Chains A and B, each alone.
Chain A
Amino acid sequence: MSAAVATAERERTVTARHVGWGAIALGVVAWYLALPPILVRSFVPSVVLGVVVIGAGAWVLGRGETRLGWGAIAAGVIGAGGAVASTQSGVGHLQDVVTWSALFAAMLRFATPLLFGALGGIVSERSGVVNIGIEGMMLMGCYFGIYGADIGGSWVIGLLVAMVAGGVLALVHAAFSVTLRADQIVGGVAINLLAVGITGYLYVDHYGDQGTPDDVSRVPDVTLPLIKDIPFVGDAIGKTNLMTWLAILLAIGLAVFLFRTPQGLRLRSVGEHPRAAETVGLSVIRTRYLAVIASGVLAALGGAYLSIGFLGSFNQNLTAGRGYIALAVVICGRWRPGGALAFACLFGFSSAVAQRLPTFSDSGAVLFQALPYVLTIIVVAGVIGRSRPPAAIGQPYTRE
């Protein structure tokens, strides 16, 4: 195929893609107009924008970019529709729900366990091992975090115990997936069941009816002295939990590790083409064991945040599917820490909004809680085709 033709084709696609993403952004703006602080009370500008966006989306569709095209059309419809709905609601309600700084802070709170879980998922999957068991490892961290903090008297001990618990469960997953070459997805489901059963069992056995103590040592929030007084930013990030900062730092660190260090290169090679890695002398088995255990530790930290960072207590099955959402974050973020951060924030944002929506409708409140899960399905379905997983993922590796 001639190079000129290829370049021309690529250029056409690039312009269409730009328009597509631009249209989606415009759709968001259309809705934003009707929300605080702008609070345009007429839906006309938003609807006009919406129509423009839909038109752009159709054009993009015509250029062959199906996903972006439909995404833009959807953004136009949702943006305009959302704006119309917002203009129909009371200003008071809107201002209650949409306090951006408080939403931002809540977003960070909800995103933290997702981010930890996703980072763990990235490490494991980049080495080629599917880790559906993140939910279970998170739950282990959840229970053992508070247990450790209770017994040991400090949240530091709680975190350490959580990390060990997550690591041990991950070791089981590694043993079955890597050494016994078990099916990794089924194994992951098993790991989650085990975690539910073990943590539930220990919780009932140890804490019984009274539940966890109220005064358990908790991971502190970090108050940033000067920043907290700045009007918007201060409310947003002035008083964020230590673990949230830890998660963000870990995300940055993992990005550097994966893409800038030799060890990261080796990890990725094991996940892409284990036989090739083996032929240059790397130990696929050792690398995968370490990766899976690390993922367990990271996931457990996310769980520990839930119990001793956020809530201060434990209930059976507290993670409530966050580990699975973390997995979706991994996929949507294309197995990159930066992408994981972005999507963790997106899903965290949806949870934050869902938490506040009950002001609109009491009985509907419960339904709004389904928002993050529904959003996950939509985003995952929409992202398909773009995501390229590590090539050898899910395939047990045999030396001989």
Chain B
Amino acid sequence: MDAALELRGITKRFGRIVANDGVDFDLRAGEVHALLGENGAGKSTLMSILYGLYHPDEGEVIVRGEPVRIDSPRRAIDLGIGMVHQHFMLIPVMTVAENIVLADEPRSAGGLLDVHAADAKVRALSERFGLAVNPDAVIEDVSVGQQQRVEILKSLYRDAQILVLDEPTAVLTAQETQDLFKVLRALRDDGKAIVFISHKLGEVLEIADRVTVLRRGKRIDTVPAEGATEASLARLMVGRDVLLRVDKAPPHPREPILEVRDLHVRDDRDLPAVQGVDLTVHAGEIVAVAGVDGNGQSELIEAVTGLRPVEQGEIVVEGRDRTGAGARDMVVAGISHIAEDRHRRGLVLNFNLAENFALREYRTRKYSRHGWLSTRRMVAAARSLIREFDVRGGEPETLAAALSGGNQQKCVIAREIACNPRVLVAAQPTRGLDVGAIEFVHRRLVAERDAGRGILLMSLESEEVRSLADRILVIYEGRIVGEFPPDATEEELGIAMTGGGRREAA
């Protein structure tokens, strides 16, 4: 088995941050080689260098024995390197065929685009590699699974021999993941060299032949998948023994504080997203809504926090009907919201910390009187919150943009908890955070639960769900299709998330 690809001593800096620090990586033809590491470890940077999107500051790239200089994606494509990006590089308004043949289009006489030839080529490829796609479908109408197949076909259309897949299973159901693995094994047996980037330990062990672990920009080790365990890989990833589960006492749920009855909500395209959801959150418990992205959980959260109109149904907080209340009224009613996307919704990055902390309550007497905003009070409140939540990297006058992701999220959490809510709605609270920050968030959420709040958690990470939740509700196509205890297996949850098999609420 010869080396299809070798990266030697790759170093890449962004300002003062060293994303890759002397990384060595080799890839053989006919293998699946996993690249493992937590967020920010440098995996995507390394592969972007391989694909010509970045230039390395030091080190060299050797493809099939020849040192090469990859200065653009075009060059990478010519060398037979294909990349399947984590966030799909697909054009939503164009068809599957158009996306696949873009920049290498078949032409008819007269220089026009030959749509038929494109369709035919796509169908041929699709059959050859077992990747079912519809060439005439428009990308935005097509399922996520099919979109990923299109991404893969893009590389295969250009005769890629080296395939890099960046977090491919992040958006797939359990079944789709298995389908993908089947395809990958077939490609591997066909002689292709595959790089599989992931932070999911279980999947890595399932599909990979070898595993290379990166931590903070450095290569830690390369081990064969056989003989490795989740725990051993986690230790390499983080450098210490990691608590994969948060330590928590059993819950003591009390009275119901949030009741959602027969909720119907429409999404941005005016299609039904939530189609009759019933759920209850009690004080002192964590209820998690789990499911594959796109099954209505985002819209559910938005409706409960007052960011989306309710078409039908009721939202009752502490016995009072709050259906249709706006965001501000929901806060007043006792619902706080840790938003899914802290950059888009949670924070105003160009405000300083004091101003960000005031976002919820700036109209209350705590911060202002008769429309007059008191900077002094804002700064004082900020100081105490920074201390209580151990926010590092800034003072009340520091811009939010200057903080790290973890500290930014701490600010958001601090603000929402400072409103003293009865219900804390946390949507993807640990997205993009490193392990240390994740531990902090999880511990805090449990603490708030023990303090008597009710927590409605929405998460796409089943690890997180099973670790935190006292009750797990699986959402599928806008309906709750099952309630599970936290010790339910991944398999049980996975089946429910794809709509098969229903287990009635206990």
The answer on direct contact between A and B (beta carbons under 8 Å) is yes
Q: Which residues of A contact B (CB under 8 A)?
A: 1, 6, 256, 260-262, 264-266, 268-269, 272-273, 275-282, 388, 391, 399-400
- Known interface pairs A6-B271, A262-B113, A400-B53. Does A279 touch B85 (Cβ–Cβ under 8 Å)? yes
> Which of chain A's residues has its CB closest to B98's CB?
A265
List A contacts of B477 (CB < 8 A): 1
One digit per residue, 1 when the CB lies within 8 angstroms of any chain A CB and 0 when it does not, for chain B 125-164 equals: 0000000000000000000000000000010000000000
Within the complex, what minimum Cβ distance (angstroms) separates B111 from chain A? 6
List A contacts of B89 (CB < 8 A): 273, 275-276, 279-280
The residues in B between 244 and 283 inclusive whose CB is less than 8 angstroms from any CB of A are 271-272, 275
Offer 25 A-B interface pairs, CB within 8 angstroms, sorted by A.
Answer: A6-B271, A256-B112, A260-B113, A261-B111, A261-B112, A262-B105, A265-B94, A269-B91, A269-B102, A272-B92, A272-B93, A275-B89, A276-B89, A276-B90, A278-B53, A278-B73, A279-B53, A280-B89, A280-B102, A280-B103, A280-B154, A281-B103, A282-B103, A399-B53, A400-B54
**Quick check: B92 and A266 within 8 Å, CB to CB?**
no
List B contacts of A264 (CB < 8 A): 113
Q: Identify 6 new A-B residue pairs, CB closer than 8 A, beyond the known A272-B94, A276-B91, A279-B53.
A: A266-B103, A278-B73, A280-B89, A280-B104, A281-B103, A391-B91
List B contacts of A400 (CB < 8 A): 53-54
Within the complex, what minimum Cβ distance (angstroms) separates B343 from chain A? 16
> Which of chain A's residues has its CB closest to B72's CB?
A281
**Quick check: B90 and A273 within 8 Å, CB to CB?**
yes
Within the complex, what minimum Cβ distance (angstroms) separates A5 from chain B? 8
In the bound complex, CA of A266 to CA of B73 (Å): 15
In the bound complex, CA of A391 to CA of B272 (Å): 24
In the bound complex, CA of A178 to CA of B291 (Å): 41
The residues in B between 87 and 117 inclusive whose CB is less than 8 angstroms from any CB of A are 89-94, 98-99, 102-105, 107, 111-113
**6 shortest interchain CB distances as A-B pairs:** A281-B74, A276-B89, A262-B105, A280-B103, A272-B91, A273-B91
Contact for B73 among A265, A268, A280, CB less than 8 A? A280
> Which of chain A's residues has its CB closest to B267's CB?
A1
One digit per residue, 1 when the CB lies within 8 angstroms of any chain A CB and 0 when it does not, for chain B 175-190 equals: 0000000000000000
List B contacts of A262 (CB < 8 A): 105, 107, 111, 113
List A contacts of B53 (CB < 8 A): 278-279, 399-400
Task: Judge whether B357 is part of the interface by a CB distance below 8 angstroms.
Answer: no
In the bound complex, CA of A391 to CA of B112 (Å): 25
List A contacts of B456 (CB < 8 A): none
- Known interface pairs A278-B73, A400-B53, A400-B54. Does A265 touch B113 (Cβ–Cβ under 8 Å)? yes
In the bound complex, CA of A269 to CA of B94 (Å): 8
> Which of chain B's residues has its CB closest to A276's CB?
B89
> Which of chain A's residues has its CB closest to B275's CB?
A1
Q: Determine which residue in A265, A272, A282, A399 has the highest number of CB atoms from chain B within 10 A of its CB, and name it.
A: A265
Main secondary structure of the interface of B (DSSP, over half): loop
List B contacts of A399 (CB < 8 A): 53
Within the complex, what minimum Cβ distance (angstroms) separates A268 from chain B? 8
CB < 8 Å A-B pair total: 74
List A contacts of B92 (CB < 8 A): 272-273, 391
- Known interface pairs A272-B93, A276-B90. Does A281 touch B73 (Cβ–Cβ under 8 Å)? yes
> Which of chain B's residues has its CB closest to A260's CB?
B112
List B contacts of A273 (CB < 8 A): 89-92
Task: Judge whether B233 is part of the interface by a CB distance below 8 angstroms.
Answer: no
In the bound complex, CA of A277 to CA of B91 (Å): 9
> Which of chain B's residues has its CB closest to A282's CB?
B103
In the bound complex, CA of A264 to CA of B113 (Å): 9
Within the complex, what minimum Cβ distance (angstroms) separates A394 from chain B? 17
List A contacts of B83 (CB < 8 A): 279
List B contacts of A1 (CB < 8 A): 271-272, 275, 477-478
Task: Judge whether B77 is part of the interface by a CB distance below 8 angstroms.
Answer: yes
In the bound complex, CA of A269 to CA of B112 (Å): 17
Task: Judge whether B476 is part of the interface by a CB distance below 8 angstroms.
Answer: no
List A contacts of B90 (CB < 8 A): 273, 276
List B contacts of A256 (CB < 8 A): 112
Task: Judge whether B51 is part of the interface by a CB distance below 8 angstroms.
Answer: yes
In the bound complex, CA of A256 to CA of B113 (Å): 10
In the bound complex, CA of A279 to CA of B98 (Å): 14
List B contacts of A281 (CB < 8 A): 72-74, 77, 103
List B contacts of A266 (CB < 8 A): 102-103
One digit per residue, 1 when the CB lies within 8 angstroms of any chain A CB and 0 when it does not, for chain B 476-490 equals: 011000000000000
> Which of chain A's residues has its CB closest to B48's CB?
A400
**Quick check: B93 and A265 within 8 Å, CB to CB?**
no
List A contacts of B77 (CB < 8 A): 280-281
In the bound complex, CA of A269 to CA of B104 (Å): 13
Q: Determine which residue in A266, A275, A281 has the highest number of CB atoms from chain B within 10 A of its CB, and name it.
A: A281
List A contacts of B105 (CB < 8 A): 262, 265
In the bound complex, CA of A311 to CA of B92 (Å): 45
Within the complex, what minimum Cβ distance (angstroms) separates B311 from chain A? 12
Within the complex, what minimum Cβ distance (angstroms) separates B153 from chain A? 12
In the bound complex, CA of A272 to CA of B88 (Å): 13
Within the complex, what minimum Cβ distance (angstroms) separates B254 from chain A? 37
Within the complex, what minimum Cβ distance (angstroms) separates A1 from chain B? 6
List B contacts of A261 (CB < 8 A): 111-113
**Quick check: B102 and A265 within 8 Å, CB to CB?**
yes
Contact for B102 among A260, A275, A277, CB less than 8 A? A277
In the bound complex, CA of A261 to CA of B107 (Å): 8
Q: Determine which residue in B74, B91, B275 has the highest number of CB atoms from chain A within 10 A of its CB, and name it.
A: B91
List A contacts of B72 (CB < 8 A): 281
Within the complex, what minimum Cβ distance (angstroms) separates B371 from chain A? 32
**Quick check: B107 and A279 within 8 Å, CB to CB?**
no
